[in-house]
Amino acid sequence: MTAVQSQLDALNFDNKFVRELPEDPKSTNKRRQVYKSCFSRVRPVECSAPKFIAHAKEVSEMLDLGEEILDKAAFAGVFSGKDQLPGMDSFAMCYGGHQFGNWAGQLGDGRAINLGEVVNKAGQRWTLQLKGAGPTPYSRMGDGFAVLRSSIREFLCSEAMYHLGVPTTRALSLVETGDPVMRDMFYDGRAKNEPGAVVCRVAPSFVRFGSFQIFGARNEHEELKALADYTIKTDFPQLGEPSEAVYAKWFEEICVKTAELVIHWMRVGFVHGVLNTDNMSILGLTIDYGPYGWLDNYDAMWTPNTTDKSNRRYRYGAQPEIALWNLVQLATALTPLAKKGVFESGLEAYGEAFNSGWKTMMAQKLGFKNFDEQTDDHILKELQSILQIVETDMTIFFRKLADFNVFDESMTTTDQLLAPLLEAYYIETELSGENRNRIANWLRIYKFRGAQDGGTVEERRERMNRVNPKYVLRNYLAQEAIELAEKGDYSRIHKLLEIMRKPYEEQSKNEEFAKKRPDWARDKPGCSTLSCSS
């Protein structure tokens, strides 16, 4: 056995999902409604010329494949879907969902094909899923493929989010297929061929809220119970054997995990862009990276998704309430499992977990040791206002706030107070008159509050820099990597992957990647706006 064969054979396929849950009795891979089934077996399309672009070494090690890829051609063949390994049992999942607030019926894995589940040496279960490997019975009007630009964004963001400490699905690899894919990026009649690509996504489970909704909507109660029981036994074993009481505990845990997830999004300035119920993970993971975006200037109303431009349903500031709305839809789908009112405590738990967690998180971002109800509610409310009255870079503002010396009693004038933060403002001329005075007044209150905590400048800076990243995957950075990659230059992908591995650290050689969004990126497609086209 060669070293290459040994590396790929390290994948120990178990495939519990397809062994234990009801499957689609039909084997034809054509678009159709699939009933009373959790999945359909389907094979990826064999692409013409798979080409290895990048992999995440941490994910590779997690799967027992080792840090380095020994044979990139063999690896690309497998993780593009062209070649099969012994033990693989590929399938696409059936689920439904609410899209932009409306029930959409059956959705399912339209461009995702699961290669199977592997169990690593540590006993951890991981599902390997290819995004962009061809059509499935759930592809509806789509072709099941993905283009290079969206695949780069998903690959980089999955790993950037992980290293930021945000719960997320992971990305093992990025492979170009060698086949063109026709896309109309902004649905404006200007379709063109783009290079195709496949990302291998990795998660303990890709089960979503919509996985239960489809059975609830169709009154397929036997399948609903089978999936719920399987999920509890596999992913929530600490809760015990499924019962009405355990269903309630399980839902409450989903609610709390979801609250914690959204708090992390708000902490780092991430906007998911498409918070449909089919894009909500039952494990509280960030899932399905499409038209997501990062706040450059702080704007609670901003959404990167052009489809959502009019209503802004999934805007940054609305994510907490949308997550709750989605949980209500999940609770409705689960009602056949228990008597009326059983899941209400879970929804209450979401509110409690989010409210307390958000205050704790914001106190940490501001360098406070604890949240003080008497003073900090006002400080936070005014902060959210001053961040928007002048165009303020969210990431830089909080990072620079760690350098603001709250213990310096000589720092009293407006100029002195604003000096440490000037780098965070996009248009310095906006820092005048009433706006300038209002920000300075907030800084005086903040300075007094911060000094009350005591400690040292260094302790406070270290505490703040643990939660306020210096590096995030700004939209324009990803777009630059995409434009280079479309010319055959993958160096920026590797560079960004390396930088995002240490987002909280000072990286003296990479300061340019921590700068504000440049003017050319303000209104550029891919930097300010994105579509669901991938």
If one counts the domains in the chain, the total is: 3
State pTM to two decimals: 0.96
171 and 102 in a common domain: yes
- Please indicate, yes or no, if residue 222 is contained in any of the structural domains: no
Query: In angstroms, rounded to a whole number, what is the distance separating the alpha carbons of residues 101 and 310?
Result: 14
- Provide the total of helices (H) and of strands (E) in the chain, helices listed first: 17, 11
Q: Note the pLDDT of residue 365.
A: 98
Residues in the chain: 534
Q: Note the pLDDT of residue 189.
A: 79
- Please indicate, yes or no, if residue 122 is contained in any of the structural domains: yes
Cα 333–chain centre separation: 24
Q: Using the CB atoms, write b or e for 396-426: b if 16+ within 10 Å.
A: bbbbbbbebebeeeebeeeeebbebbeebbb
319 and 196 in a common domain: no
- Please indicate, yes or no, if residue 83 is contained in any of the structural domains: yes
- Please indicate, yes or no, if residue 213 is contained in any of the structural domains: no
399 and 349 in a common domain: no
- Please indicate, yes or no, if residue 214 is contained in any of the structural domains: no
Q: Note the pLDDT of residue 1.
A: 44
181 and 68 in a common domain: yes
> In the chain, which residues have pLDDT < 70?
1-5, 186-187, 533-534
340 and 390 in a common domain: no
- Please indicate, yes or no, if residue 218 is contained in any of the structural domains: no
- Among 312, 339, 363, the domain boundary falls at 363
335 and 192 in a common domain: no
- Please indicate, yes or no, if residue 440 is contained in any of the structural domains: yes
346 and 453 in a common domain: no
What residues are labeled active site? 278
Domain that holds residue 26: 3-206
Q: Note the pLDDT of residue 6.
A: 72
- Please indicate, yes or no, if residue 317 is contained in any of the structural domains: yes
142 and 177 in a common domain: yes
Query: In angstroms, rounded to a whole number, what is the distance separating the alpha carbons of residues 437 and 386?
Result: 10
At 148, is the secondary structure helix, strand, or coil? helix
Selection from 532, 376, 345 nearest residue 452 by Cα: 376
263 and 295 in a common domain: yes
324 and 243 in a common domain: yes
401 and 315 in a common domain: no
159 and 252 in a common domain: no
- Among 329, 363, 397, the domain boundary falls at 363
- Among 339, 363, 387, the domain boundary falls at 363
